[in-house]
Chain A
């Protein structure tokens, strides 16, 4: 049974908690032990947020304590970059290229870092796209996270049906189709 240490990074309000919840439930449905961390609280208001999901045969701590993430799911580009060193050499970086400028950038005190995707490419596998833009093209900008989960799902041994089952249970019924459509897009990328 494989073990997956996943770091998820984003900006408060992007839906990180639901994303970790879906990954956890798909893992459990797939027969794995799983533990996750979410940073919840003050940072929810547009601050930097991150979480971890550990999937394997038996998981003790939810923390990914050493530079040992197999997969980094970056929901926002700068936040992904912040966690770059958490990723194993040759680990997989799934990068949403969508950018949310933080306060120092808005205030023009600092520049939004450039060439982040290229930095990752130096020693990691990279799948990068603007998930918000793509999701919007699929009909709504609300399914960007599910699209990213689709990419993640493809890179684990957890059966596709476990993901689909979990997504159906996690989103309101009238939005199931558009979510599964986005999942498929990511899965088949």
Chain B
């Protein structure tokens, strides 16, 4: 019991400290400072963009990993999980070497389509999807594996086509996993710092997300940094509250 209490204190105290040191009286003023709203909006846009990209590419990938046996499936899964354990700054360097202007794919993108990713909002979305998508894929894949395949078989035997089965049977059964995977992916994207500042740079209004704004504000103005941190904390708490039925329900 004492160890458990210590663990709770260890995890909770830093968050309490943010709340204690937040300049509540001047919070509105701090948040109205130029750049803060832009960073907040950019954070929301980019993390949702990363989530959309993860849905679009990650759902088919999770499906293949869970349902299609093929040689090298374990290697593919390891590759997918790698960004989860990779230090984000290393991810940023890797992204530069791949999708940067001189990168192995990036220089083709620029020549063929005139697209450059570094220093753009699209670059932020790419960096956030790189670190966030694995969480989505892994969670959804686990959901697909845990699903009872007999429901789908029953639907098929009753004459439902593959698309109808997927839409009417698989998706509803998968909804909790989709929700949890999306929440994890989105939260990870929202908090992304290392890969973003390395790959996409830091420009207010186009690539400076909230974590970057917090980091730079900390160098000159601790009060602003704490105020921004409090906002991020509030957003995270809100996500938890919205998802409480899923995560707080005891088995």
A interacts with B: no
Give A contacts to B, CB under 8 Å: none
